[in-house]
Amino acid sequence: MRNFILLFLLFGSIFASDFITKNEYAKMLYSNPRGIGCDKCHGKKGEGALIAKFKHFDKKSNKIVDGELKAPRINNLDFWKFSEALKRPKDVMPSYFLTDEETLLLYEYVKNFNDNKDKK
C-alpha cells in the first residue's frame, strides 16, 4: 500500500502539466540547452557579444592585424532566419538538436528582450 502511494505521487509529479511554465523552460533552454548555453556567446538577452579578440596575419596588407570574433545580435530576427541558423549553423556557432517546439520557445524568449528594449 505504501509503495502504491509513493508510485502515485511520483507519477503525479511527472505528469503534472504545469510542472514548469513555458517561460521557465525557455529560459532553461537558453542558458543550458543540450550543449553550451546561447547566453555564453550571444549575451544574456540575445543582444550579441564579443567572444574573443585575436591577432592574425593579413596577406593583403602584409601586416599583423587585430581580429574579433563576435556572436551577432539574435533578438531582432524573423523566425525563419532564427531557425535556419539553428538547423544549419555557420562558423563557431555550435550544432544543436532542438525540436521545432524548442526552437520556437527560444525564439519567443529572446524576442521578448527586443520588445522590452524598444518600448523604453
Shortest approach of ligand HEC to residue 119 CB, angstroms?
22
- 28 near ligand HEC (CB under 6 A): no
What are the residues facing 65 on neighbouring strands?
56
Closest to ligand HEC by CB, 59 or 90: 90
- 44 near ligand HEC (CB under 6 A): no
Shortest approach of ligand HEC to residue 6 CB, angstroms?
37
For residue 95, give every residue at least 6 positions away whose Cβ sits within 8 Å of its Cβ, in sequence order, or none: 35, 89
Q: 107: how many CB neighbours lie within 10 A of its CB?
A: 21
Q: Of 11-19, 53-61, 70-78, 112-120, which part binds ligand HEC (CB under 6 A)?
A: 70-78
Cα–Cα nearest to 97, from 5, 6, 35, 49: 35
Task: Answer for the pair 48, 73: CB distance below 8 angstroms, yes or no.
Answer: yes
Task: Answer for the pair 53, 66: CB distance below 8 angstroms, yes or no.
Answer: yes
Closest to ligand HEC by CB, 32 or 116: 32
First to last CA, the chain: 58
Per-residue binding letters, 84-103, with ligand HEC (x by CB under 6 A): -xx---xxxxx-x-------
Residues lying near ligand HEC in the complex (CB under 6 A) are found at 33, 36, 38, 40-42, 51, 71-72, 74, 77, 81-82, 85-86, 90-94, 96, 106
